[in-house]
Amino acid sequence: MWPPPYLSAAQLDAFAAYTRLLVQEGSRLNLTSLREPEAIERRHFGESLSLLQALESFGAFASPAIDIGTGAGFPGLPIKIVRPDLKLTLVEATGKKCCFLELVVEALGLTGVTVINGRAEELAHDPEHRGAYPLALARAVAPLRVLVELALPFLRPDGYLAAPKGSAALREVREAATALRLCGGEVAAVQPLDVLEPTPVLVLVRKNAETPDAYPRRPGIPSKRPL
């Protein structure tokens, strides 16, 4: 259901402004295949806030958070609108999309948001970011066995990776067994999110050991040769 009944008038205004920017810039920057405001709100905003509710129910929501391969800002920016206390780092490899993210942050008057134009494989070896976050978010970035290698190096011990997945979630979990073992993670939960069809599935991964310095491998290798 959109909008959720708990949103304030100011938050509704922020989501409306975000929607207008997505509609204006979406096709030019390849931000989303959706063009209708109602579809954007239901699919992108609704799923992001459902993810937030699930994280809070698991006790896994924490700040600061890093959103890897955020694209047009999902799920990080919708969560930030609802939880303004969240310190958020958005990582995106495409420069034009980073410009859009900065536009949204400025237009909505958001504070505590950092936009980084870069690749996770390189940023995860930066001491400022490696092991610095209790929560990593990643939506529609890569198969889980690839995502584990990209995301777990950013996490503190006992931190969580939250990855909404599709109907192949259980298969992805099985295929990620080696990556989880090598990178120091374990699956904490696999749970459908409370949104309209098609229902995404949250895969929640807990970091239970340090990730070896060798991971992630250099750019492109995790996708070409998954663990």
Domain ranges of the chain: 9-210+217-224
Q: Bigger pLDDT: 64 or 197?
A: 64
Residue 67: strand pairing partners: 90, 137
Residue 136: strand pairing partners: 66, 161
φ/ψ bin of 140: left (φ > 0), alpha (ψ from -120 to 50), beta (otherwise): left
Specify the range with the lowest mean pLDDT, choosing from 28-32, 91-95, 197-201: 28-32
| Res. 208: pLDDT tops 80 | yes
pLDDT in tens, 113-164: 999 999 999 999 999 999 999 999 999 889 999 999 999 999 999 999 999 9
Neighbours of 198 (CB within 10 A): 9
φ/ψ bin of 217: left (φ > 0), alpha (ψ from -120 to 50), beta (otherwise): beta
The overall average pLDDT reported for the chain is 93
Distance in angstroms (rounded) separating the CA atoms of residues 130 and 180: 17
Superfamily of domain 9-210+217-224: Vaccinia Virus protein VP39 (3.40.50.150)
Kindly state the tokens that stand for 80. 């930030």
pLDDT in tens, 55-102: 999 999 999 999 999 999 999 999 999 999 999 999 999 999 999 999
Report the pLDDT value the prediction gives residue 65, as an integer from 0 to 100: 98
Check: CB of residue 204 under 8 Å from CB of residue 164: no
28, 103, 152 from 32: Cα distances, Å: 10, 16, 27
Packing angle between helix 9-29 and helix 95-108, nearest 10 degrees? Answer: 160
Report the pLDDT value the prediction gives residue 3, as an integer from 0 to 100: 86
10, 148, 167, 181, 187 from 175: Cα distances, Å: 43, 11, 14, 12, 12
Cα angle vertex 148, ends 146, 150, to 5°?
A: 75
Distance in angstroms (rounded) separating the CA atoms of residues 216 and 223: 11
Q: In angstroms, how far is CA 194 from the centroid of its own chain?
A: 17
Residue type, 75: P
| Res. 34: pLDDT tops 70 | no
